[in-house]
């Protein structure tokens, strides 16, 4: 079939072998032993020097992220290999796009000769077999797609029948030792599950439950299952409130099989998409429950009611911009009282907050206003480089001219008075909620102070209109005043801050690092120490 290779001594050969579960269905001819025997016979006949044999046993051809394939590519990059031989093209891969990339671009660019024995492909010689290689790759891809559809159909059928098809049973269960697609109770883990539900039933929050388990050094589900984490984070191996909350809502613990939460994007990709709960496949009464339905229902009511009471959020200027410099996670904001009993917001590292006793990260506790003031000082300095009266005055004069055409002082007064009346009405409603017991004193004080500040600001604008009407200024003076107010107030605009700043990092030493998102400002990385 092949012409004799005229100069075998110049080649350092990589023999590549791949076998996946779907390939096994094609018969024993695809086995690793069979492939190796065929390749060894060829290199012996051609007197070729084999550098190494690369075997990926149990790896699908739809993905090129395979251990030994990557090792072979590394040896090609290091110029240790300049010839690759496979039994057939499908051993190289079944994704026709990537297969074509390696054959048409990568191998030629790295001066690697590729030979596929059964297909008659040899990129080192002119051959009609090489011309139809793209069509062979497409056929291999179609085969992989067809196999994927069949496997997916079988899995869905098993899910609808309530058979467990996962690789690892949920925490508290284990795979049945003899019956396939069935799970049974794993008593050591199940006792922890019962305890978690008991603590939640007694009113403990998910956060407190996680803290208690971590303090007792109870192995987390991933640790208990012996799973290896690819990219471990600062609290890998610890219980979290999210994990507890997920367990308390998992119907698997009352004997219902819940599957189909995640779906693969494509047979060529390992990435999965989370499905909405209404698309999950739930089959009731498929296995022995760990928790009775009444306890499960009451715990869900308790958790849901707590979630609604904790839905309050705090508004502040730097919201969504601050992260911990050490662990990289967003900072939380908490209301606290000072010595005088006044309410203030404080930034706290969320990682430290969740895993305090484990010593993960540090608190970073600092008053929100101090950080905000430090950031505004720096942003004001940056703005002053670009905002000057000379540049803004023509714009302001044009705006004043347009404004004069569009609205009168009287119309503005009516609009302001309407906003003030609405805020006063809101204060009345909040006060009635306090009297009815729907709102705590702390929440009332916080909301009242915010709404009152808005009302006072609008009242000041209304008084300013009265002064303008009593002593009208020239259009030029009004424009200058507008420019000055803009320069002074621009830096407290959240829209401006979000547009300028990519993120703000707070270090353990209370150092604020501002990273700007606009290219000319990228070099301005302010490192400012905050006291207090």
Average pLDDT score, the chain: 76
Closest residue by Cα to residue 99 from 129, 135, 125: 135
Residue 69: count other Cβ atoms within 10 Å of its Cβ. 20
160-172 per-position pLDDT tens digit: 888 888 878 889 9
Q: Are 345 and 527 within 8 A, CB to CB?
A: no
The whole-angstrom separation of Cα 247 and Cα 236 is 18
The whole-angstrom separation of Cα 105 and Cα 103 is 6
Which pLDDT value is given to residue 234? 61
Q: In this model, does residue 517 exceed pLDDT 80?
A: no
Which pLDDT value is given to residue 310? 45
Q: In this model, does residue 83 exceed pLDDT 90?
A: yes
The whole-angstrom separation of Cα 303 and Cα 391 is 57
25 or 41, greater pLDDT? 41
481 or 218, greater pLDDT? 218
Dihedral sign computed on CA atoms, order 408, 410, 413, 418 = negative
Instruction: Please list the alpha-helical segments (H only) found in 310-408.
Output: 350-354, 368-386, 389-406
Q: Report the relative pairing of strands 343-349 and 272-274 from DSSP bridges.
A: unpaired
Quickly state the pLDDT bin for 311 (edges 50, 70, 90): very low
Q: Are 120 and 113 within 8 A, CB to CB?
A: no
Q: In this model, does residue 238 exceed pLDDT 80?
A: yes
Closest residue by Cα to residue 506 from 334, 317, 346, 316: 346
As a whole number of Å, the end-to-end CA separation of the chain is 82
Q: Give the CA angle between residues 217, 220, 226 to the nearest 5°.
A: 115
Burial class (CB in 10 A: 0-12, 13-18, 19+), 106: middle
Q: In this model, does residue 306 exceed pLDDT 60?
A: no
451 or 71, greater pLDDT? 71
Chain position carrying tokens 């796009």: 97
Quickly state the pLDDT bin for 79 (edges 50, 70, 90): very high
Quickly state the pLDDT bin for 272 (edges 50, 70, 90): confident
Which pLDDT value is given to residue 85? 93
Q: Are 78 and 107 within 8 A, CB to CB?
A: no
396 or 32, greater pLDDT? 32
Q: In this model, does residue 424 exceed pLDDT 70?
A: yes
Closest residue by Cα to residue 442 from 314, 277, 282: 314
312-344 per-position pLDDT tens digit: 456 677 777 788 877 877 777 777 777 777 777
Which pLDDT value is given to residue 405? 43
CB proximity list for 142: less than 8 A, separation 6 or greater: none
> What mean pLDDT do residues 82-103 have?
85
pTM (two decimals) = 0.43
Q: Mean pLDDT lowest for which of 47-61, 289-303, 385-399?
A: 385-399
Which tokens in the block code for residue 156? 């869905």
Which pLDDT value is given to residue 70? 93
Burial class (CB in 10 A: 0-12, 13-18, 19+), 413: middle
């Amino acid at each position: 079939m092949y012409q004799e290779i005229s100069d075998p001594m110049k080649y350092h050969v990589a023999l590549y072998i791949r076998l996946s579960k779907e390939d096994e269905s094609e018969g024993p001819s695809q086995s690793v032993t069979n492939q190796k025997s065929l390749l060894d016979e060829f290199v012996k006949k051609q007197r070729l020097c084999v550098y190494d044999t690369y075997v990926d046993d149990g790896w699908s051809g739809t993905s090129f992220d395979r251990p030994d394939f990557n090792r072979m590519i590394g040896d090609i990059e290091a110029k240790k290999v300049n010839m690759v031989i496979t039994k057939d093209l499908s051993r190289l891969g079944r994704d026709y796009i990537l297969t074509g990339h390696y054959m048409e671009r990568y191998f030629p660019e790295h001066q690697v000769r590729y030979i596929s024995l059964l297909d008659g492909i040899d990129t080192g010689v002119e051959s009609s077999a090489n011309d139809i290689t793209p069509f062979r790759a497409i056929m291999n891809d179609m085969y992989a797609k067809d196999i994927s559809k069949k496997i997916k159909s079988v899995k869905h059928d098993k899910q609808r029948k309530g058979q467990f098809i996962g690789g690892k049973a949920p925490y508290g269960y284990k795979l049945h030792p003899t019956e396939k697609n069935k799970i049974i109770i794993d008593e050591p883990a199940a006792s922890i599950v019962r305890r978690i539900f008991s603590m939640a039933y007694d009113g403990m929050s998910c956060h407190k439950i996680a803290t208690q388990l971590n303090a007792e050094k109870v192995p987390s589900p991933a640790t208990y299952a012996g799973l290896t984490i690819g990219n471990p984070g600062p609290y890998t191996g610890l219980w979290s409130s999210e994990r507890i909350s997920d367990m308390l809502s998992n119907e698997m613990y009352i004997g219902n099989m819940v599957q189909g939460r995640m779906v693969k994007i494509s047979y060529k990709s390992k990435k999965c998409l989370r499905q909405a709960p209404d698309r999950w496949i739930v089959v009731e009464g498929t296995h022995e429950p760990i928790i009775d339905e009444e306890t499960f229902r009451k715990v869900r009511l308790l958790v849901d009611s707590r979630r609604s009471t904790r839905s309050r959020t705090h508004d502040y200027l730097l919201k969504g911009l601050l992260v911990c410099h050490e662990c990289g996670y967003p900072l939380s904001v908490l209301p606290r009282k000072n010595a005088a009993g006044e309410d203030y917001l404080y930034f706290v590292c969320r990682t430290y907050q969740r895993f305090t006793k484990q010593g993960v990260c540090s608190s970073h506790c600092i008053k929100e206003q101090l950080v905000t003031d430090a950031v505004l000082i720096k942003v004001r300095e940056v703005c002053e480089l670009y905002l000057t009266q000379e540049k803004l005055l023509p714009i302001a004069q044009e705006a004043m001219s347009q404004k004069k055409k569009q609205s009168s002082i009287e119309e503005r007064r009516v609009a302001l008075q309407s906003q003030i009346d609405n805020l006063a009405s809101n204060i009345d409603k909040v006060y009635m909620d306090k009297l009815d017991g729907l709102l705590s004193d702390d929440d009332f004080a916080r909301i009242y102070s915010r709404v009152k500040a808005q009302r006072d600001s609008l009242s000041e604008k209304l008084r300013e209109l009265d002064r303008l009407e009593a002593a009208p200024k020239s259009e030029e003076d009004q424009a200058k005043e507008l420019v000055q107010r803009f320069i002074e107030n621009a830096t407290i605009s959240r829209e401006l801050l979000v547009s300028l700043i990519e993120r703000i990092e707070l270090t353990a030493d209370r150092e604020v690092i501002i990273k700007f998102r606009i290219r000319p400002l990228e070099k301005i990385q302010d490192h400012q120490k905050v006291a207090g």
